[in-house]
């Protein structure tokens, strides 16, 4: 797709209403006119100008480029960074580089295996069926917000069980996780209080699992060992936050985005309905959703440790850069008819879950949960339709995410 300059208002503000109204048009403009360019990230409470890379080859190369690191400098000497802020930011796995990242990734990979994740499939099916039963009993055939009333509770319950959060702590844990994922939009003081409470409940969880091990990921992380090395308590708390981000936030938005996109493309949904037990086709469909409407559209910023020349632009040392994965996933140099949604697309080398050492730790969990939840949803409700006009659906004005504000449907 070629987008004319007049179709996009400059400067590009990711998180603004114009961008949210048509992200693909803005990605196409960037690929064509500013493959290494500057945009504004508008987070509501604050805005940030930043370098972005938008072509597939450049994004993929950037994700393995040693000149671009997640945290090359750290806080300045003597900086007073509150512990709760450090634990949810610079201490997490996706903000580590080099040997430290390899060490942590090796330890966390021990319990976070595809085999363990696949065993959760039966549990996801039961949770999805129970949630749909509850929705039927509560509202009959009336509209429901599928994002809030199905995708979110199913995926939250799975990650809470997986991590090992007790029933008595789930409300506090979910409140903190919601604050962590959403950022502060009101009082920063209130937001930091929620984060401090999340850190406290997670530290309690680690202490409890040390005393009473269980069949959960926190116990697995406590017991994980590599050449005599283990995670300390602070690393365990930060790792829980990494797992929650990887296995919860991405997943419920992947489910929501999949439903909206499949309803937009009834021919593709028809292929799935005609083969409800074709696991390979469902997996292929989820890969195409991750390409076409990835929940996370760009990674954490990386910092250039030296001047980098790209397409006639100089990204100076110390500058932050983001690879726009969603833009890369629509690059016509890599994908035939990139703006066509095709659940049988093969090959499909999308970057929806990242690439390289920072490839999403929760990718297998997200894929499995979304596949099972969607299969149950469309099996139980073959007549599912939108409860509003398609034009009334809106994306949240939040940079680096593709998230619907709500997804009202009639289950049928």
Domain assignment present for residue 325? The answer is no
pLDDT digits (tens, 9 = 90+) for 359-392: 887 888 899 999 999 999 999 999 999 999 999 9
Q: CA separation (Å) from 344 to 267, 268, 282, 375?
A: 12, 9, 9, 17
In residues, how long is the chain? 412
What is the CA angle 389-391-394, rounded to 5?
Answer: 110
| pLDDT > 70: percent of the chain | 89
Domain assignment present for residue 251? The answer is yes
pLDDT digits (tens, 9 = 90+) for 326-355: 999 999 999 999 999 999 999 999 999 999
By three-state DSSP, how is residue 217 classified? helix
**Confidence band (pLDDT; 50, 70, 90) for 95?**
low
Name the domain count of the chain: 1
Domain assignment present for residue 104? The answer is yes
Q: How does the average pLDDT of the chain come out, rounded?
A: 87
The residue range of the domain holding 90 is 77-295+339-410
Q: What is the CATH number of the domain that holds 245?
A: 1.10.630.10
In 3D space, the residue among 111, 106, 316 whose CA is nearest the CA of residue 226 turns out to be: 106
Q: CA separation (Å) from 229 to 99, 104, 107, 224?
A: 13, 10, 8, 8
76 pLDDT more than 60: no
pLDDT at res. 92: 67
Tell me which of 8 and 110 has the higher pLDDT.
8
258 pLDDT more than 80: yes
The predicted model scores a pTM of 0.90
pLDDT at res. 140: 61
Beta carbons within 8 Å of 131's beta carbon, 6+ residues apart: 149, 150, 153, 154
Domain assignment present for residue 257? The answer is yes
Q: Tell me the chain's radius of gyration from C-alpha atoms.
A: 21
Domain assignment present for residue 354? The answer is yes
Domain assignment present for residue 59? The answer is no
Domain assignment present for residue 19? The answer is no
**Confidence band (pLDDT; 50, 70, 90) for 208?**
very high
Lowest pLDDT segment from 33-37, 169-173, 191-195, 364-368? 191-195
**Confidence band (pLDDT; 50, 70, 90) for 244?**
confident
Domain assignment present for residue 163? The answer is yes
């Amino acid at each position: 797709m070629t987008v004319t300059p007049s179709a996009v208002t400059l400067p590009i503000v990711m998180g603004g209403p114009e961008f949210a109204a048509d992200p693909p048009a803005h990605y196409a403009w960037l690929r064509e006119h500013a493959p290494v360019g500057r945009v504004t990230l508008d987070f509501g409470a604050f805005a940030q100008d930043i370098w972005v890379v938008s072509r597939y080859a450049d994004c993929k190369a950037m994700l393995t480029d040693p000149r671009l690191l997640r945290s090359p400098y750290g806080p300045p000497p003597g900086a007073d960074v509150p512990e709760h802020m450090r634990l949810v930011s610079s201490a997490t796995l996706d903000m580590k580089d080099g040997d430290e990242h390899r060490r942590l990734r090796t330890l966390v990979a021990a319990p976070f295996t595809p085999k363990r994740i696949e065993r959760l499939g039966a549990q996801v099916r039961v949770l999805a069926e129970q949630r749909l039963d509850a929705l039927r009993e509560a509202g009959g055939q009336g509209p429901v917000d599928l994002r809030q009333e199905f995708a979110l509770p199913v995926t939250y319950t799975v990650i809470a069980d997986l991590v090992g959060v007790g029933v008595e702590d789930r409300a506090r844990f979910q409140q903190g996780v919601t604050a962590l994922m959403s950022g502060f939009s009101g009082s920063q003081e209130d937001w930091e209080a929620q984060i401090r409470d999340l850190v406290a409940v997670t530290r309690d969880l680690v202490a409890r699992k040390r005393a009473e091990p269980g069949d959960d990921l926190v116990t697995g992380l406590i017991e994980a060992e590599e050449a005599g090395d283990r995670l300390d308590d602070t690393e365990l708390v930060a790792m829980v936050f990494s797992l929650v981000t990887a296995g919860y936030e991405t997943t419920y938005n992947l489910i929501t985005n999949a439903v909206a996109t499949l309803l937009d493309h009834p021919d593709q949904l028809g292929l799935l309905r005609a083969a409800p037990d074709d696991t390979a086709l469902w997996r292929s469909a989820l890969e195409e959703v991750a390409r076409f409407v990835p929940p996370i559209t760009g990674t954490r910023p990386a910092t250039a440790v030296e001047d980098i020349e790209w397409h006639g632009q100089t990204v100076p040392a110390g500058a932050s850069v983001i690879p726009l994965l969603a833009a890369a996933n629509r690059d016509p140099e890599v994908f035939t008819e990139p703006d066509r949604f095709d659940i049988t697309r093969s090959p499909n080398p999308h970057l929806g879950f990242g690439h390289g050492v920072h490839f999403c730790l929760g990718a297998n969990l997200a894929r499995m949960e979304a596949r099972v939840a969607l299969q149950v949803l469309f099996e139980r409700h073959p007549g599912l339709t939108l409860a509003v006009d398609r034009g009334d659906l809106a994306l949240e004005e939040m940079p680096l995410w593709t998230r619907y504000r709500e997804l009202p449907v009639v289950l049928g």
